[in-house]
Amino acid sequence: MAGLQEVYLKELSEHLNSVRLIIMGALVYIIGFSMSFMSISTIKLEFISSRGENLFLKLFTTQSGGVPSFLGFLSFFGPLISLILVFDSINGEDNQGTLGLVLSQPIHRDSLINGKFLAATTNIAIILVGVFGLIIGLGVASIGAFPSVEETMRIIIFGGICVVYLAFWTSLGLLFSIVFKREGTSALASIVSWLFLTIFIYMMGDMVQSTGLNPQGVLYLSPSYLFTQSSSIIMIPLMRVVGPVSYEQVVGMVANPLSLPQSLSVIWPHLTALTAAMMLIFVVSYVLFVRREIRST
């Protein structure tokens, strides 16, 4: 993989110095902080009824009043971070005049796209680690306890799911930057796909439901749904079933929290689907880019 390391490091430092990343990062930090701050007050109210269990997980998942949980925020807003980082990564280089220059150096052509993908994913992971640390720190300061081993494990797994979910959007943004010649077009395509997969698909789900059919067939097409469902199961141990529950299923159900391996086994299909979708899109962009012909214009 000649050139991968060089491209990766250059992309990483370029991102870290870019205004885009600083703005997006700052936004995530501010929102993450304020959301978990809000949820602390709600958690304190529920403290007695919840017997003080899994408080740190609740920091990520509790809605307070009209403010969504951090998990909900990430499922909706996270994709935008990925897309903004990469929507112009290939066509931008082409228009800037660096693509021809880079590809005429002795490197493997796929090093460029691999390096870009890895660098964007690393940057997103860095943002996430920071904001997770911030939220947990806030929790430690206000609750006065440390997360248990299981809570820590769950939070780490949740972080992993976040990275995979955002990597899906990164590969989608990369694909658009390869398919479309202009940055403007790929930006629009990114926004449209983002709105569709995070908002409109839920409306379609509602529509399907109103006809009496199971909306999950539609909803499973959305990575945002897969992400929300799987991370909810991981972060809310009391949640045992994914999606709408029929009456027959509820009968005899015990309202006990699931253990971590059990939670994982519930969402395993979701994780597989999410990872597969991410890889599929990346493979498509990889093939398109490697086989693409450099032409004189």
Binding status of residue 279 toward other proteins by CB under 8 A: no
Among 211, 250, 261, 295, binds other proteins (CB under 8 A): 295
Please provide the size of the chain in residues. 297
Q: Give the shortest CB-173-to-other proteins separation in angstroms.
A: 19
Q: Which stretch binds other proteins (CB under 8 A): 71-79, 99-107, 172-180, 197-205?
A: 99-107
Q: Is 290 in the site for other proteins (CB under 8 A)?
A: no
d(CA 109, CA 93): 14
Q: What are phi and psi of 64, to 5 degrees?
A: -130, 115
Q: Which residue has the tokens 């947990």?
A: 136
Element spanning 264, H or E: helix 260-291
Stretch that binds other proteins, among 3-11, 79-87, 139-147, 251-259 (CB under 8 A): 3-11
20 binds other proteins (CB under 8 A): no
Are 133 and 141 within 8 A, CB to CB?
no
The closest alpha carbon to 109, from 297, 268, 291, belongs to: 291
Which distant-in-sequence residues (6+ apart) come within 8 Å of 94 by Cβ? 181
Question: Interface with other proteins by CB under 8 A: which range of 92-100, 120-128, 137-145, 206-214?
Answer: 92-100
- Select the residue interacting with other proteins from 34, 41, 105, 262 (CB under 8 A): 105
Angle of helix 19-46 relative to helix 4-16, nearest 10 degrees, comes to 70
Q: Which of 34, 41, 98, 262 binds other proteins (CB under 8 A)?
A: 98
Interface region with other proteins, contact rule CB under 8 A, candidates 81-89, 101-109, 141-149, 212-220: 101-109
**What tokens does 147 get?**
């997360």
Q: Decide if residue 18 touches other proteins (CB under 8 A).
A: yes
1 binds other proteins (CB under 8 A): no
Q: Tokens in use for 177? A: 């930057």
Number of residues that bind other proteins (CB under 8 A): 23
Find all residues with CB under 8 Å of 151, minimum gap 6, and list them. 54, 56, 57
Among residues 17, 49, 246, 256, the one that binds other proteins under rule CB under 8 A? 17
Dihedral sign for Cα 210, 72, 224, 285, please. positive
Pick one of 67, 107, 191, 204: the residue that binds other proteins (CB under 8 A).
107
CB of 4 to other proteins, least distance (A): 10
Binding region for other proteins (CB under 8 A) = 2-3, 6-7, 10, 14, 17-18, 96-98, 100-107, 293-296
